[in-house]
Every structure is written in structure tokens, then in C-alpha cells.
């Protein structure tokens, strides 16, 4: 076969840069190019001893230019494949990535350039597709300061010379279509920084899948084409997520909810959780599951709060479609799914976002702004348009592609304040000299406007531990735009109170009443989260004072108070049956304890509290409205009792909640109530079915028209020790 002449105009510097993987415009050299009337193909194949361009049944030899670079003349205007022959005689055929045109549109380029591509994941990342009639994967990544970017993977021997990418104008985005690469391929990006230094291989910031840790490559995942079965849920979820709705959240760490011990103690898969976890949460009467972060993360001990793959459901429990199976099953069971979302920081792992293109791209360069001293992590540069776009689009991605119903945003306070956990001299003020982080505030507003605007019926929840104003007010009313906010003050005060010996509680009575002073300043969730049962804090049961009986009674009374108090509810897994030990992410919650009578009693109580909360408008409709609450007596510190009224809308029967936080039974205990008539005892935490002694009111009490405590009627009740009672007027 006669050799064809090599391209006569290849510049030696281009050849050298291609061979050394430093060329910033490989498409200008590689692939088919016209030289006058002739067409030449230039190709790089480090494994080939000989290389040919194959058109139909004819092969056109390419001459070796230097090393792994080949070039030769071919008939113009016809698609070709390459055929390599190794020194050992092995032969392989493949499509040349450099004969394919760009995939990203001019409009993509425009939106990427201005940092306003709300469907960023459809432009960047790895997309399985058919392009110009050929199957493969399109890779695109943002690396504006890079002088060269190559995609490397198991489809090209992890060789950065084989697939250097095309730079897209001034956007900083690089792209390439790799024919033949498909679902399941492992890949990373090899990036040469502006100084010519090749950095560590980087996982894809917008990758949809990842290898099992401790391996760190991204995995090509085709996330298109899932068949959802949740149309009924999606049509009605606006009603399920309203602030007037009963919202009771079961917070779960998927890795330690339940394990399969005869299979090396592995956690449940997404598909197994779709059966077991969903059925359990539904049986317990919760309305929503909140999953601790599922975005891919390298270190198990971070529980997901130091994510690397913000667009990838962690492979620990299965691939992306199986995570959808979990969401779909929850929706079919009438449960919402809330994801913990972490835009506050990211870890310094070499394959992650830190110095991604050889510069401080995603993070601030100055550690006074860009380094979290508490967590040894990096802080996003929220003021950079493309970074804000990356995070906003990520929130929309989970709501869109995975049908999640809400995002609980982690560590909001650490984002709102530039001096968060920093001493004087360790932080940089804003442009006005203050401590507020204007750029993070703008991000929250942008994210919430986009999320609520595009996906009506979802909810966003801020974990915010300060008194920053209007966190859960709409943006157009001067707020941050969140739907709800965790009430950290209520949690801290009431837990501090309930862990004290009853004899001392009268001196701390204000801790149980102070929360009402601000209870309606935000749309609050009352959180007993994972943070309260780890790192030496002990389990909820272990916090309680007294002997065993008193510990359980204290906890039952506290849960009754919590469910009676204004605010949506959140309880971490294991707390619903009073797990004796604090949470250990390396094991599972103590299901054996859940079978013991006293623990089963707590579990039954939580189930009944959820049922009562959901079925009783007075206990939920005005959780966030001061018209739904009145004190009966908030001043009985000496006896450590509390009594208050919960109201729904006009026509809803009111409820009275009565708490006794001493181990002293009180008979003939008189309280004022808003109406005369029969008040049914809807719940008594001292009931024997919960592990109590069945002291109470034989199902109900009649109130008479004798004013007391500022109310027009009153009734005398038996108030068991360490117990909460909930009465409802006229209940059948």
C-alpha cells in the first residue's frame, strides 16, 4: 500500500506541544483540515506503530510525523474512522474525536459566559449522546485559567495526550465529544494551569456519578429517561409543604439507619431503603424524610457535609437511577424527600474543587475569606458569577432531576457572616466595613427565587443559628426567601432545661417559655437533629436525669411538649425509640433496643404524636401564626408546669397542652380553658401503652363556666408526674 504524504504545513511548535500535551487549541491541528484543495487528517495515537484513515472499504495510511503523531491526505468531505496497528500486530478501529464539531450551542456559551445558566448540568458534565450520527459522551468543564485541559479515563489509558479539549471562546469552558465512551466509564480532567504546571487529576465538578471511595474518579452516568410514578404526589405536594400543613420530619443518615450484617455490615442500598425505610417512616406517621447529604463525598466521617461531587448521588448506596427509586417510592407512599444541601464549604482533597484550574477558581484566594478554620475546608467565592451559578443550578438540579421536595441548607450562619468563628484580624469586612457576607446573602436570594419560581410546592429550610432577620420571609419582602428555618434557640434552651434535675428546673423555667417570644418571627422547624446525639452529647435518653423510669418519663413529657409547641417537627433516627447510645455513623441505630418495652413505648408515643399532629388542625395549621397560640399559665415555675392553648382556623376545635416537669402527681389541678364543655384527653404521655402508670383523667374532663387564669372557663385535671397531656374540646 502506497504511503500518502504528510500534511506539509504542520508547524514544529504545534507538533511539539501536541506531543507534550501542552497545546491549548488541539482542534486547530488534529482532525481533518483543508490545505488548499486537499484534505489532511492529523491524529494522535500513542499506542500505534501504524495509523490509517478508513473511509468505507478503503484505508489511507497516515505518515508518522513524530512520536505518536500521524498525518496524511484523504478524500475530502467524507467521514472516516482510524485504524491503529501495534508493534505486536494488534489492530483496533475507532472514531476520531477531532472530526466532530462542538456540542455546546452559542446560547449555552452566552449563558455560561454571563454566569446565568440555570440548567448548568445540561451543558457541563459528561453526557451520553449520539452526536453527528455517532454514539459517545460529551465532556465539558469550566477551567478558565487553564492553558490546556484533557479528559482522561479508562477509554484512553488515562493519557492526557489523547483527548485535549476545545476551548469555547471567553467562557472558560472546555469541551470534547469522545466517540465510543459511554455509561460506566471512569474519567477525570488533566489540567495544565496558567504557569504550565500540570495539576493533580480532577474529578468532574458537574459529574453525575463517582467511583466508590476511596477511589476518586468520576463515572459517566446517563441520567436521562427515568420513568417516574409520582404524578399524583407532584400534583398535590404544594399542599403538603405549606406552612399550614402538618410537617413532621424523620432525619436519616442512610449509611447507618440499618445494615446488612451477614453481608459485611453494608448499609442498605437506595432500592432497599425504598422498601424498608419508606415503609417504616410511613408507619411512624412522619410526613417527610430528610436525608443527610447524598452528594458524593470522600470521607465517611464527614457524614456527607464535605462534598466533592455536588451533582452526583453517592455511589455508596447505588447509582443515580436507584436514588430516584427511593424518591419515587417515598412519593408513592405519601412522603416528601428533603435533602441536606451544603453550599457552605468543600474539602481540600486533591481531586476536588480546590485550585481547580491552577488558580483559586471556586474558592477565595485569601484564607481570611476562603478557609474554614473549624472544619479545615475551603469556602466558595460567592461573588464570582460562575460559582454562584454552579451552586444555584445545583439546587435546581436536585429539585428537577430527582424530584426532591425540599433542600435543608446546612451551616447558613457560617455563610452569612464574614467573621463566623473568627477572631479580630482573621476576617475581611464587607465593602461597608461590616460583618455580613453580601455575596452569600445574594446567593441565598437568587437560589430561593429560582427554586420557588421554577418548582412550585417545594420548600427550602435554613439551618441558621443566629438572629439574622427575615430568613424565612420572601425576597420581595426583604427576606432571604427560605420557606422555613430551624429553631436552634428553642432546641438549645429546652434541651438544657430538660436535662436538669427536676428540683432545679424552677430556676430555669424561662428556658421553656422564652421561645414563644420569637416563635412567630420566622416559619420555624423544631429540630432534634443528629447534632444533638453525637460527639459526646449522649443520646436523648441518656441526657435525661433520674432513674430509668424517670428518664423515660422525662423524654416522653419532652416529646409531648415538642409536638404540642408551635413549629414543624424534626427528629433524628433512633430518637423515636429512645436509643440508649449516642449515634455512631459506623454502625446502625440500635434496633434491638427498639424491641424492649420501655423503648417500644417511646416509639408508640412518637407514632401517636405524629398521628394526632396530622389529624388535628389546631396543632399544625397555625404553627407559624401567633393567632394559633395563647398561654394559659407560663408562670408556674415553682411547680414546673406549663399550660397553653393551640388553635386552628375558625371552626377548628382548640387544644390545650398541659405539661408537668416534676415527678410529683398533681390531682385536682385547676386550669383555665377557652370554652366550657367536654375536653377529651387526646394524648397522655403517662399512658401504660407508652410505659407510664396510666394516671390521668379517664379519657376526658368537663369544663365549667368558671373564669380562671384569664380564661372564661376552667376544669380540674389529674396531672401525672413527668407528663404531658393534650386535650381537645368536644372531640369524639
Active site residues: 410, 463
547 burial (CB, 10 Å; 0-12 / 13-18 / 19+) is: exposed
Is 556 within 8 Å of 603 (Cβ atoms)? no
| Strands 336-341 and 406-409, bridge-based pairing | parallel
Lookup result for grid cell 464570582: 384
Q: How many CA atoms lie within 13 Å of 522's alpha carbon, on the beta-carbon side?
A: 29
Q: Which residues of 278-316 are buried (b: 16+ CB within 10 A; e: fewer)?
A: bebbbebbbbbbbbbbbbbbbeeebbbbbbbbbbbbbbb
Residues 488 and 24: their CA atoms lie apart, in Å, by 51
Calculate the alpha carbon distances from 180 to 137, 138, 261, 715 in Å: 7, 10, 40, 79
Sign of the torsion formed by the C-alpha atoms of 397, 401, 403 and 404: negative
List, in order, residues 6 or more apart from 551 with CB less than 8 Å away.
541, 542, 544, 545
List, in order, residues 6 or more apart from 504 with CB less than 8 Å away.
none
List, in order, residues 6 or more apart from 349 with CB less than 8 Å away.
216, 298, 308
Residues 590 and 574: their CA atoms lie apart, in Å, by 7
How many residues does this entry show for the chain? 732
Residues 533 and 582: their CA atoms lie apart, in Å, by 5
User: DSSP string covering 625-648, please?
Assistant: -GGGEEEEES--TTTTEEEEEE--
Residues 724 and 562: their CA atoms lie apart, in Å, by 10
Q: Is the peptide bond before 214 cis (omega within 30 degrees of 0)?
A: yes
Residues 434 and 200: their CA atoms lie apart, in Å, by 37
SS3 240: helix
Residues 270 and 86: their CA atoms lie apart, in Å, by 44
Cell (9 digits) for 526: 423544631
| Strands 371-372 and 377-378, bridge-based pairing | antiparallel
Residues 47 and 30: their CA atoms lie apart, in Å, by 17
Which residue spans within 236-304 are E strands per DSSP?
248-252, 259-260, 266-267, 288-291, 295-296
Is 248 within 8 Å of 351 (Cβ atoms)? no
Residues 482 and 477: their CA atoms lie apart, in Å, by 12
DSSP H or E stretch at residue 278:
helix 270-283
Is 290 within 8 Å of 250 (Cβ atoms)? yes
Axis crossing angle, helix 270-283 with helix 320-332, rounded to the nearest 10: 20
Phi, psi of 351 (to 5 degrees): -85, 0
The H-assigned helical ranges of 402-459 are 412-416, 438-454
Cell (9 digits) for 407: 433542600
Amino acid at each position: 500500500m502506497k504511503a500518502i504524504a504528510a500534511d506539509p504545513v504542520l508547524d514544529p511548535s504545534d507538533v511539539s506541544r501536541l506531543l507534550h500535551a501542552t497545546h491549548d487549541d488541539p482542534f486547530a491541528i488534529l482532525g481533518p483540515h483543508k490545505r488548499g484543495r486537499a484534505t489532511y487528517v492529523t491524529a494522535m495515537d500513542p499506542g500505534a506503530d501504524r495509523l490509517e484513515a478508513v473511509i468505507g472499504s478503503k484505508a489511507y495510511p497516515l505518515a508518522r510525523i513524530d512520536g505518536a503523531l500521524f498525518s496524511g491526505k484523504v478524500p475530502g468531505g467524507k467521514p472516516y474512522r482510524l485504524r491503529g496497528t501495534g508493534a505486536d500486530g494488534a489492530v483496533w478501529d475507532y472514531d476520531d474525536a477531532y472530526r466532530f464539531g462542538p456540542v455546546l450551542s452559542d446560547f449555552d456559551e452566552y449563558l455560561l459566559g454571563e454566569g446565568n445558566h440555570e440548567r448548568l448540568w445540561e451543558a457541563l458534565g459528561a453526557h451520553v449522546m449520539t452526536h453527528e450520527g455517532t454514539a459517545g459522551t460529551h465532556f465539558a468543564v469550566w477551567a478558565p485559567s487553564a492553558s490546556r485541559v484533557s479528559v482522561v479515563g479508562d477509554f484512553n489509558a488515562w493519557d492526557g495526550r489523547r483527548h485535549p479539549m476545545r476551548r469555547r471562546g471567553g467562557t472558560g469552558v472546555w469541551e470534547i465529544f469522545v466517540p465510543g465512551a459511554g455509561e460506566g466509564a471512569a474519567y477525570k480532567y488533566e489540567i495544565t494551569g496558567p504557569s504550565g504546571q500540570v495539576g493533580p487529576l480532577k474529578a468532574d465538578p458537574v459529574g453525575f456519578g463517582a467511583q466508590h471511595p476511596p477511589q476518586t474518579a468520576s463515572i459517566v452516568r446517563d441520567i436521562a429517561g427515568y420513568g417516574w410514578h409520582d404524578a399524583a404526589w407532584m400534583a398535590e405536594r404544594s399542599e403538603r409543604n405549606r406552612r399550614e400543613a402538618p410537617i413532621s420530619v424523620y432525619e436519616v443518615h442512610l449509611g447507618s439507619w440499618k445494615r446488612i450484617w451477614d453481608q459485611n455490615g453494608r448499609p442498605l442500598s437506595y432500592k432497599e431503603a425504598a422498601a424498608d425505610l419508606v415503609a417504616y417512616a410511613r408507619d411512624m406517621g412522619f410526613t417527610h424524610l430528610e436525608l443527610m447529604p447524598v452528594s458524593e463525598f470522600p470521607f465517611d466521617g464527614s457524614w456527607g457535609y464535605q462534598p466533592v461531587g455536588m451533582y452526583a448521588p453517592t455511589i455508596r448506596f447505588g447509582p443515580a437511577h436507584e436514588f430516584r427509586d427511593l424518591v419515587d417510592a417515598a412519593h408513592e407512599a405519601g412522603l416528601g424527600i428533603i435533602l441536606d444541601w451544603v453550599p457552605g464549604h468543600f474539602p481540600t482533597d486533591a481531586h476536588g474543587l480546590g485550585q481547580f484550574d491552577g488558580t483559586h477558581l471556586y474558592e477565595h484566594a485569601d484564607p481570611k475569606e476562603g478557609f474554614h478554620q473549624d472544619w479545615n475546608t475551603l469556602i466558595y467565592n460567592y461573588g464570582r458569577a460562575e460559582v454562584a451559578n454552579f451552586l444555584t443550578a445545583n439546587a435546581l438540579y436536585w429539585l428537577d432531576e430527582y424530584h426532591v421536595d425540599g433542600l435543608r441548607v446546612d451551616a447558613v450562619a457560617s455563610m452569612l457572616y464574614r467573621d463566623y468563628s473568627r477572631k479580630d484580624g482573621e476576617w475581611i469586612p464587607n465593602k461597608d466595613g461590616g460583618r455580613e457576607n453580601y455575596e452569600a446573602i445574594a446567593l441565598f436570594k437568587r437560589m430561593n427565587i429560582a427554586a420557588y419560581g421554577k418548582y412550585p410546592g417545594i420548600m427550602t429550610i435554613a439551618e441558621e443559628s443566629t438572629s439574622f432577620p427575615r430568613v424565612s420571609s420572601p425576597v420581595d419582602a426583604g427576606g432571604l426567601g427560605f420557606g422555613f428555618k430551624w429553631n436552634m434557640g428553642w432546641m438549645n434552651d429546652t434541651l438544657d432545661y430538660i436535662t436538669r434535675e427536676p428540683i432545679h428546673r424552677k430556676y430555669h423555667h424561662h428556658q421553656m417559655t422564652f421561645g414563644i417570644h420569637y416563635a412567630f418571627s420566622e416559619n420555624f422547624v423544631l429540630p432534634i437533629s443528629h447534632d444533638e446525639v453525637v460527639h459526646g452529647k449522649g443520646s436523648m435518653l441518656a441526657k435525661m436525669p433520674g432513674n430509668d423510669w424517670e428518664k423515660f418519663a422525662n423524654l416522653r413529657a419532652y416529646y409531648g411538649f415538642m409536638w404540642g409547641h408551635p413549629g414543624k417537627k424534626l427528629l433524628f433516627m433512633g430518637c423515636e425509640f429512645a436509643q440508649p447510645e449516642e449515634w455512631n455513623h459506623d454502625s446502625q441505630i440500635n434496633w434491638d433496643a427498639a424491641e424492649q418495652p420501655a423503648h417500644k413505648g417511646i416509639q408508640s408515643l412518637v407514632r401517636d404524636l405524629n398521628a394526632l399532629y396530622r389529624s388535628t388542625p389546631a396543632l399544625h395549621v397555625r404553627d407559624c401564626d401567633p393567632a394559633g397560640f395563647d398561654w394559659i399559665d407560663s408562670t408556674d415555675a415553682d411547680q414546673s408546669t406549663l399550660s397553653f392553648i393551640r388553635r386552628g382556623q375558625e371552626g377548628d376545635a382548640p387544644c390545650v397542652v398541659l405539661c408537668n416537669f416534676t415527678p410529683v402527681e398533681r390531682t385536682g389541678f385547676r386550669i383555665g380553658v377557652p370554652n366550657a364543655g367536654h375536653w377529651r384527653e387526646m394524648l397522655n404521655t403517662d399512658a401504660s401503652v407508652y410505659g407510664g402508670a396510666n394516671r390521668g383523667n379517664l379519657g376526658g374532663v368537663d369544663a365549667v363556666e368558671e373564669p380562671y387564669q384569664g380564661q372564661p372557663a376552667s376544669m380540674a385535671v389529674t396531672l401525672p408526674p413527668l407528663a404531658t397531656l393534650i386535650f381537645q374540646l368536644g372531640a369524639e
